Every structure is written in C-alpha cells, then in structure tokens.
Amino acid sequence: MTISNRLQSLLKHVESVCVLTGAGISAESGVATFRGVDGLWSKLKPEELANFNAFMRNPELVWEWYDYRRKIIHNIKPNAAHEALARLEELVKEFTLVTQNIDNLHRRAGSKRILELHGNIERSYCIECGKFAENIEVTKEKKVPRCISCNGLIRPDVVWFGEILPEGVFEAAIEAARRCELFLTVGTSAVVYPAAGLPITAKNQGAYIVEVNTERTEISHIVNETLIGKAGEVLPCLISIMEETRNKK
C-alpha cells in the first residue's frame, strides 16, 4: 500500500480524528447484508420487516427475524479493522467514531466514543414509555418481549425504514466532522444521506479526507486520498505508522 507524503506527515501529528464506518467493515467479519440469505427469511425483503407498521402488524415475526440476526452477529467477532480503530482512539486526543452499522462490533472491539447513526441491534426499548432494555431473550413461550414497567411492546433500538435518526446523534457527528483534522471513511460508499454529508462537512472545514474501501466509490472524487484494500489490512498499516512515529518523539 502506498500513501502520500501528506498523509504520512499528518499521521505523525494529528490529534483530532473522525471516522465514519459502514457495512464494508463488518462484511470482513462475515456480517451479511441480510439480502438474499437462504432459507426462512429469503422470501422477505428487509424493507418489509424493518419498519414500524410491520412491527405493529406482526411483532412476533419481526422479533423472530431480529432474534435470528442477533444470534448470527453474536457468533461473529470484530476484525483487525475494528481493533485498529479502537487503538486509534487511544493514540489521539480527540476521537469520534460514527457508524452506520447496528452490529455492536465496534464496542466489542473496545471503541468507546461511538455514535450509532442507525442504532444497535443488541439494545431494545419500550414503545410506550421509552425505557431501554438489554439482553432481551425471545423464547418459544414469549415471542414478543414486554416492558417490565408498563407492559408496553419492546422493539429493537434500530432505525427502521421511514424513521428519523436518533435525536442528537447526527448533530454530534456533524460537530465531530467539523472539528477533526483527519476524517476517515471506511467500508462505506457514503452516498446515503445524512451520513454522506459528514465527509463533505469535514472537507469544508479544512480536514484531510481519506477513504478506505475495496473499490472506488461515488465519493472518491471528493476525498483527498483513496486507499484501495481491505479495511482489516489498510487500517492496521496506518496505525503502525502512527505508533512508530509517535514513539520516536
């Protein structure tokens, strides 16, 4: 992998970094996009299950689907890219990880300052009183979990089709993009708004934008540098450059 002199020197001194991640980083761990999967769920499109009307019509079905997905994700491990980003957080003063993924792999890898634009599949909340619930178990007897406080229906804390992003999360992401010196976009084509606005915001404020992806994307023409390759290989390289040069200080 070749990186520019500009990025080399930036990696030595940068103290404020913002990262945007998408499905590509988790795909390297084996998280499928849940389109075209085999068996039971192959006949239903995610759009038909991941929306509030579908949930109200048939909460059992929607919970069964999320339970299936959570079990798959639970058996998957964070990869070298997730770990590199957790390490990056320790190396700089200011760090924000903005993710479009709901799989919780960044947290499991050790990242701390995470803004989850689309929620988190391992978290749930009551649609009546808003109380959060963790470690929800769906069983044969109890297919739809209920709130222990008010008996309301519990739903996964993920952003469904047609829903707005969690309050304050996107605003915090914009703020981080405005402040950073280096903005990394990893495993995302970043064409879906509002996430697509983040690298543009960062660039307008003078940040250096680096894209890490297995192929060029629709935002390649606006970024300063595109590093083609697996995130699990490219990111550890960048981190080792940072660690090497910082140790020499």
CA–CA distance, 187 with 21 (Å, rounded to integer): 6
Nearest residue (CB) to Zn ion, 94 versus 128: 128
Asked whether the beta carbons of 229 and 1 are under 8 A apart, the reply is yes
Q: Does the annotation count 118 as an active-site position?
A: yes
Nearest residue (CB) to Zn ion, 12 versus 146: 146
Residues 26-65 that bind Zn ion (CB under 5 A): none
Span near Zn ion by CB under 5 A; candidates 76-84, 148-156, 170-178, 236-244: 148-156
CA dihedral sign of residues 19, 21, 27, 29: positive
Q: What is the DSSP letter of 153?
A: B
Binding mask 112-131 for Zn ion (x = CB under 5 A): --------------x-xx-x
As measured in angstroms, the least distance from the Cβ of 51 to Zn ion is 21
Asked whether the beta carbons of 114 and 97 are under 8 A apart, the reply is yes
Return the residue of 46, 110, 152, 197 that touches Zn ion, per CB under 5 A. 152
Q: Which residues are catalytic?
A: 118
Binding site for Zn ion (CB under 5 A): 126, 128-129, 131, 147, 149-150, 152
